[in-house]
Amino acid sequence: MRPFAVAAGRGRHFERLPRWPGKFLVGGDAALTLNPIYALGMTAAGLGALTLEACLRAQRHQRPRPAELAQCFHTRLAEATAGLWRTVMREDHTGR
């Protein structure tokens, strides 16, 4: 059995891209990687699912616009997971 090697947390800011390729969403560990010792990965995944649902609902009565959906999703995902990121980074830097 090998121990799990934890790399530093990693957050990618897809919401800051000047242009976004349509029909492409990034979520889960590809968008936000958290130290597994804090057991927040499923919380982040759940927030991602709720965020996607909210963005899809916001566009349900409109003609589908993939680029707008992607911008909505990435912006809201960054907002929804910001608290998790701050918590993990604070704990990692204060020595638990």
What pLDDT, in 10s, does the model give residues 19-58?
A: 777 678 988 888 888 888 888 889 999 999 999 999 999 9
pTM of the model: 0.78
> 12 in a domain, yes or no?
no
Question: And the tokens for 30?
Answer: 């590809």
Q: By residue range, what is the domain housing residue 50?
A: 36-96
Q: Cβ atoms within 10 A of the Cβ of 67, count?
A: 13
d(CA 41, CA 3): 18
Q: What is the number of structural domains in the chain?
A: 1
**With 70 as the cut, is the pLDDT of residue 96 above it?**
no
Q: How many residues make up the chain in this entry?
A: 96
**Mean pLDDT confidence for 76-85:** 93
Q: Please give the pLDDT value at position 6.
A: 55
In sign, the C-alpha dihedral spanning 43, 34, 67, 79 is positive
The model's pLDDT over 57-79, given as tens digits with 9 standing for 90+, comes to: 999 888 878 888 998 999 999 99
76 falls within a domain: yes
